[in-house]
Amino acid sequence: MIKRLSPWLAHPYLRILVLLVIFILPATVMRLALYVVHADDFSGLSFGQVLVAFIVGLRFDISIAVMMIGIPVLLLLLPFRWSHHRYWQYAWGAFIFVAWILFILLMVMDTIYFGQVHRHIGSEVNTLSNDVGSMVSIALMEYKTALLLFALATSMGAWLWWRLLRPIPAHPHSPWLRLLMLPILFLLLLIAGRGGYTGKPMGVGEAFFSDSLAQGYLTMNGAFAISHALIEKEPPVKSFMPQAQADAIVQAQLASPNVRFISPEYPLARITVGDMHKKKPNVVVLMLESWGALHMDAIRHEMKLQALGATPNFDQLAKQGRLYTHFYANGQRSIQGAAAILASQPTLPSMPLLGLGMEQNRLSFIGELAQSQNYQTIFLQSSDHGSFHFDSIAARAGFKEYRGAEEIPNVHEHPKQAKTWGTWDHNTFQEANKLFASAQKPFLGFIFTSTTHTPWIIPDARWNKFTSGSDRDKFLNTLFYADWALGQLMEAAKRDGYFDDTIFVITADHANEFVEKSEHVPNQFHIPLLIVGPGVKAGIDERVGSQADIIPTLIDLGGWSVTYAGLGRSLMDDTRNADRAAFTVRGDVMDWITREGWVSHNLDKRIGTSPALAPETANTLELKLLASYQMLMQLQLNNRFMPVGNH
């Protein structure tokens, strides 16, 4: 094969053409792999839509290829004698090979990530460096065979690539003609890299050229998406309407009988006056790693789905409290869930996350609000100390005591051996119980678990209930274990005498990768919310809610008198339940989810709606979504969530 290509490879222009084709070919292969491996995400596409996605996707493949190797290609074509020396040709050829391997690796990573969040990697790539150690450890454990095969393929590819580079083009007889051609080639590469000759370079948004979100995802090149996320410097500040109109729309959405907005300058800040004579309950918030709603039988029963048997303790506890069956995470990553629960603030596309700048704003953190009501505050995470910067976040959020995995004693009969993602949930829950039982009352406790995070390890065979060996069953086994640990915490709370005086808020950081019918956008964010405790009426609640509603709900249940700012409304407020919505973010796409339906927007245009949603309803939902984005963006840019001295 290489011998047949030798005449081509000895010709300077044909040599470049062959290298470009070889460079771009894996992109089409990876697009096919994405389509096959994640078939459920693309099941609604017709053959014609798939074909168009592959054709249009070539624009993105060529664009990212030129971005990576355009300059080296031109350097290979320089018409000088020294630039035709084998060392020069081999050096830049090797550079192109390394770029090719990186290109393939980025697409493979993106394809794996797509299976977890049902979209390409977005702006969150800028935060992945915070937990490189854990991610490398997980990769070595979960993908050891794949990594070995990739290394072998890279070695074989290097040998073949060297064979391709061996024919060195002869020095041109007319160097000046080649020199004149270089600006033309540069212009052609520039047009290809920009995705066309229009005024604005092609961006991620151009992949969503139809009303099908799935078609847009199939069109997009994963390496292109990652590279654009990495080079974004400034957040996209968009204005969709007069600011006063946006503020009024959001305030109308959040209005409640027992709250009062305090100032037009701080349009999200409001004051509530609680019962000064009411005994303040303890509060425990559990942010459970990857607990998707449809893996809890108590919720599956309401959705008329077959039971799984993975969460018997949660299901039993649900009979004692209020179970919200249409509750949603505000994002797809743990740190986004933390921002929404700890501060009632969704994370906006391309804006700083909590721990990376968001906390510089005057936010209403739950720990600070609790301290103003004389609560002791305690924060525990099962993952490693400082993972996601949670040690700093806990302090900023008003928690006086903090424990990471390294500070949590092992009380399990089988210590966790794997050096990934912290300690067993049972250890964390038992340490939490010890701290809660001895704490000054009232107290606020926050627990973030980790056992249900990949690589889905269980302590021993007792929890090996699901035996197919699939990743889903591995996850369900860790869920079965974590549910047992949750039950042990509740038993300990009853034994140590604080259960009856405590409001337990049991929810998740985000949904998981094992989403059923992922093309239905709300399913990608569907998580449980169970509230158990004094003043909470037991039963099933079908109103829409999100993590941002937790702080206002706890303010109501606790009878707190506070001033706070957040994009949430108390779930104890029974007025206007039909108007409730969840603001969700997935990469650079935002959604507005209601009982009527949902709309999706990428800050350039609406890119999706729920099936059969009436046009006028879609317009109304889109207006509320954009108003919420615009208000939050302006408040974050100008640090106007709360007045000075009230945070």
pLDDT tens figures, 421-470 = 689 999 999 999 999 999 999 999 999 999 999 889 999 999 999 999 99
Alpha-carbon gap, residue 498 to 441, rounded angstroms: 9
Residue 393 has pLDDT above 70, yes or no: yes
Residues with Cβ within 8 Å of residue 363, at least 6 apart in sequence: 343, 345, 565, 641, 642, 647
Alpha-carbon gap, residue 267 to 499, rounded angstroms: 38
Q: Residue 79: phi, psi to the nearest 5?
A: -90, 20
DSSP letter string over 453-482? STT---SSGGG----S--HHHHHHHHHHHH
β-sheet bridge partners, residue 270: 261, 564
Q: Residue 349: phi, psi to the nearest 5?
A: -55, 130
Residue 386 has pLDDT above 60, yes or no: yes
The CATH number linked to 510 is 3.40.720.10
Instruction: Lowest mean pLDDT of 110-114, 238-242, 562-566, 606-610, name the range.
Output: 110-114
Q: Between 560 and 183, whose confidence is greater?
A: 560
3-state SS, residue 445: strand
Q: Between 159 and 610, whose confidence is greater?
A: 610
Mean pLDDT along residues 151-171: 70
| Selection from 237, 38, 202 nearest residue 120 by Cα | 38
Instruction: Specify the DSSP class assigned to residue 534.
Output: T
pTM over 0.85: no
Residue that finishes a domain, picked among 570, 603, 628: 570
pLDDT in tens, 11-44: 666 777 777 888 888 899 999 999 998 888 888 8
- What are the tokens at 390? 């949670």
Residue 86 has pLDDT above 80, yes or no: no
Q: Specify whether 200 is located in the same domain as 293.
A: no
Residues with Cβ within 8 Å of residue 465, at least 6 apart in sequence: 309, 310, 476, 477, 480
Residue that finishes a domain, picked among 570, 604, 635: 570
Domain assignment present for 638: no
Domain that holds residue 176: 2-231
- What are the tokens at 29? 């292969």
Alpha-carbon gap, residue 253 to 246, rounded angstroms: 11
Q: Specify whether 156 is located in the same domain as 76.
A: yes
Residue pair 61/221 in contact by the 8 Å Cβ criterion: yes
Most confident residue range from 88-92, 197-201, 541-545? 541-545
Identify the pLDDT of residue 569.
97
Residue that finishes a domain, picked among 570, 601, 636: 570
Residue 595 has pLDDT above 90, yes or no: yes
Identify the pLDDT of residue 14.
73
pLDDT in tens, 189-221: 888 888 777 666 777 767 877 767 788 889 999
Q: Specify whether 87 is located in the same domain as 165.
A: yes
Mean pLDDT along residues 627-636: 95
Domain assignment present for 370: yes
Q: What is the CA radius of gyration of the chain?
A: 27
Domain assignment present for 627: no
Residues with Cβ within 8 Å of residue 180, at least 6 apart in sequence: none
β-sheet bridge partners, residue 260: 271
Domain assignment present for 641: no
Alpha-carbon gap, residue 395 to 390, rounded angstroms: 8
Identify the pLDDT of residue 96.
83
Domain assignment present for 253: no
Q: Specify whether 336 is located in the same domain as 476.
A: yes
612 CB neighbour count, 10 Å cutoff: 6
Chain centroid to CA 126: how far?
12
3-state SS, residue 349: coil
28 CB neighbour count, 10 Å cutoff: 14
Q: Specify whether 307 is located in the same domain as 448.
A: yes
| Selection from 239, 121, 222, 237 nearest residue 588 by Cα | 121
Burial class (CB in 10 A: 0-12, 13-18, 19+), 425: buried
Domain assignment present for 103: yes
Identify the pLDDT of residue 167.
59
Tally of domains within the chain? 2
Q: Specify whether 519 is located in the same domain as 379.
A: yes
Q: Between 99 and 645, whose confidence is greater?
A: 99
Q: Specify whether 171 is located in the same domain as 115.
A: yes
Instruction: Lowest mean pLDDT of 163-172, 357-366, 571-580, name the range.
Output: 163-172
Identify the pLDDT of residue 41.
83
Domain assignment present for 220: yes
Instruction: Specify the DSSP class assigned to residue 582.
Output: E
510 CB neighbour count, 10 Å cutoff: 27
Q: Specify whether 225 is located in the same domain as 295.
A: no
Q: Specify whether 296 is located in the same domain as 185.
A: no
Identify the pLDDT of residue 646.
63
Q: Specify whether 226 is located in the same domain as 310.
A: no
Q: Specify whether 169 is located in the same domain as 296.
A: no
Domain assignment present for 629: no
Q: Specify whether 205 is located in the same domain as 333.
A: no
Average pLDDT, the chain: 87
Q: pLDDT band at 377, cuts 50/70/90?
A: very high
Bridge-based pairing of strands 539-546 and 322-328 is parallel
| Selection from 526, 540, 637 nearest residue 591 by Cα | 526
Residue 112 has pLDDT above 80, yes or no: yes
Identify the pLDDT of residue 132.
57
Residue pair 515/524 in contact by the 8 Å Cβ criterion: yes
pLDDT in tens, 280-310: 999 999 999 999 999 999 999 999 999 999 9
